[in-house]
Amino acid sequence: MIRIVLTFLAMAWLSVMVLAPVVIVLFAGLSAGVGAWWSAINDEETRTSVALSLKIAAIVVPCNAVFGIAAAWALARFRFPGRALLLALLDLPLSVSPVVSGLVFVLLFGAQGWFGAWLQAHDIQIIFAIPGIVLATAFVTLPMVARELLPLLESQGEDAELAARTLGASGWQTFWLVSFPRMRGALAYGVLLCTARALGEFGAVSVVSGHIRGQTDTLPLHVEILHNEYHFQAAFAAASLLLLVGVATLLLRRLQTPESAH
C-alpha cells in the first residue's frame, strides 16, 4: 500500500514539475491551431534566428569535438603532472554561472574591455556581434564531447592501441584504424549533446549578444524577445522547436545507452 502511495507521489511530482512545463509549451504553441504555429515558425525573424543558431553551432561544435577527442585522449591514455587539475578545470565551464561565462568576454573584448580600444581602432566588433556569441557558446559547451569520450576511453583500456603499435602501426594509423572506430558512438552522442546545448544556450549568449534583431538574436533570444513583447503564442511556437531538439537528444540517448552501458 505504502509502495503504491510512494509511486504515486513520485509520478505526481514529475507530472507537476516536469511534464506540465513540456505540455504547456506544446499547448500554448498550438493554441491558435497548427496554421498559426507554422506561420509563427515560418516568420522572417524566427527563420533568421534559427539560421543564426545553426551557424553558431556549426562553428562551435566541430572545434569542441576536436578538443574533446584530444582532451579525452590525453587524460585517459596518459598520466602526467597536473592531470587532476586539468580534469577539474575541464568541468569549470559547466559549473560557472552562464552570466559569468558571457561577462568574461565582455571584459576582454567589450568597449571598456582589455582589447576594446584596439578592436575599435581596427573596426573589429566581437561583443554585440557574432564572434562574441561564438566565443560564449564555445565556453559553455567546451567539455561536453570530452565528458562523453573520457569514461569510454578509460573503460576500453589501451590494449588494442598498444597491440597495433607493437604490430608496427604509426601513431595516426593507430588512431584512425583502431581508436576512432571504437569511439564513434560516444563521439556522435557527445556531438549531439554539444549541438543541442549550443542551439539552446541562453544566459551567456544573452550577455554578449546585444539583442540586435535580425542580426544577433539566436533562437532562444528570439523566444525571449517574443515573450517580452507579449507575443506568447509565437514565443511558445519558437520554443517548441527547442523543445523538440531537447526531446530528440533524450530519445537518441535511450537508443544509444544499451550498447554503451557495459
- CB of residue 214 to another protein, shortest distance in Å: 18
d(CA 77, CA 29): 48
The yes or no reply on residue 188 touching another protein (CB under 8 A) is no
Contact pick of 142, 152, 186, 194 for another protein (by CB under 8 A): 142
Whole-number Cα distances in Å, 131 to 67, 137, 208, 219, 240:
19, 10, 9, 16, 27
Place of cell 590525453: 74
Q: Which is nearer to another protein, 118 or 232 (CB)?
A: 232
The yes or no reply on residue 96 touching another protein (CB under 8 A) is yes
The yes or no reply on residue 37 touching another protein (CB under 8 A) is no
- CB of residue 242 to another protein, shortest distance in Å: 5
Interface segment toward another protein; rule CB under 8 A; list 34-42, 43-51, 77-85, 117-125: 77-85
Residue 148: which residues within 8 A CB-CB, separation 6 or more?
Answer: 68, 186, 187, 189, 190, 193
78 dihedral zone (left: phi>0; alpha: psi -120 to 50; beta): beta
Interface segment toward another protein; rule CB under 8 A; list 40-48, 117-125, 135-143, 180-188: 135-143
Q: Which is nearer to another protein, 172 or 262 (CB)?
A: 172
Contact pick of 107, 188, 256, 260 for another protein (by CB under 8 A): 107
d(CA 154, CA 123): 47
Contact pick of 125, 156, 202, 231 for another protein (by CB under 8 A): 202
Closest by alpha carbon to 136, among 55, 48, 203? 203
Contact pick of 44, 112, 122, 181 for another protein (by CB under 8 A): 112
d(CA 126, CA 115): 10
Closest by alpha carbon to 207, among 142, 132, 144? 132
The yes or no reply on residue 14 touching another protein (CB under 8 A) is yes
The yes or no reply on residue 177 touching another protein (CB under 8 A) is no
The yes or no reply on residue 70 touching another protein (CB under 8 A) is yes
